[in-house]
Chain A
């Protein structure tokens, strides 16, 4: 079955630097991959979706890459701010109906 690994449980960086989070999957290449942000005690919030035929996607300070050869997605936050501190979850579609498998998440802390 499909498994997702987010390599870092926690990532601490200085404000203004670029945060890079990694998501690896183990089985078949999904049609698309999604990234969500989750704050403590709150529901995940959708950030970006990248399709298998896309190499890169950008949204404001966010950038996602998707390498189906490496079975890996990278999530970048440029010019990071303390307000970016949260847990970031990588997700793949589990079934034909769109329900998701999530990675364990990476907790990002941006220090001023």
Chain B
């Protein structure tokens, strides 16, 4: 079965540089979520998109932005990178709501290291 695809899997950047993370959700899933997971921490919600429109926003810094394209893939753009941005970034997708109860399918993550 198709899974969520994320690229790149690993990314190393210098402080103040820019990074772009990509996510390809499972076909026919209509919602995409982005989470950030620091070392030893639980995943923290950043932002979500429903049918290509931003649907909710969590603890996403102003330096970060995201969008979902017509083919449903999503990109997380991170500028002016800081050391504290080093983390695993997960994308998740979920199928059309079934009575409002939905599990999320997570991708393998992108490990971002900021030097």
Contacts and interface: CB of A to CB of B under 8 A. Distances in A.
Interface of A: 31-32, 34, 36, 41-46, 49, 51, 89, 94-105
Interface residues of chain B: helix, strand, loop or mixed (majority):
strand
15 contacts: A32-B101, A43-B90, A43-B106, A46-B103, A89-B42, A94-B58, A95-B56, A96-B56, A97-B50, A98-B100, A99-B48, A99-B58, A100-B33, A102-B43, A104-B42
Interface size class of B (residues with CB under 8 A): 20 to 34
Contacts of B33: 98-100
Interface in B27-70: 31, 33, 41-45, 48, 50, 55-56, 58
Nearest to A96: B56
A96 B101 CA distance: 11
Given A46-B104, A49-B101, 16 more contacts: A32-B101, A36-B106, A41-B109, A43-B90, A44-B90, A44-B104, A44-B106, A46-B103, A49-B103, A89-B42, A97-B55, A98-B31, A98-B48, A100-B33, A100-B43, A100-B45
A51 B44 CA distance: 23
Nearest to A104: B42
Nearest to B54: A97
Contacts of A103: 42
A51 B108 CA distance: 27
A99 B66 CA distance: 16
Given A41-B88, A101-B45, A102-B42, A46 B105 contact: yes
B41 A104 contact: yes
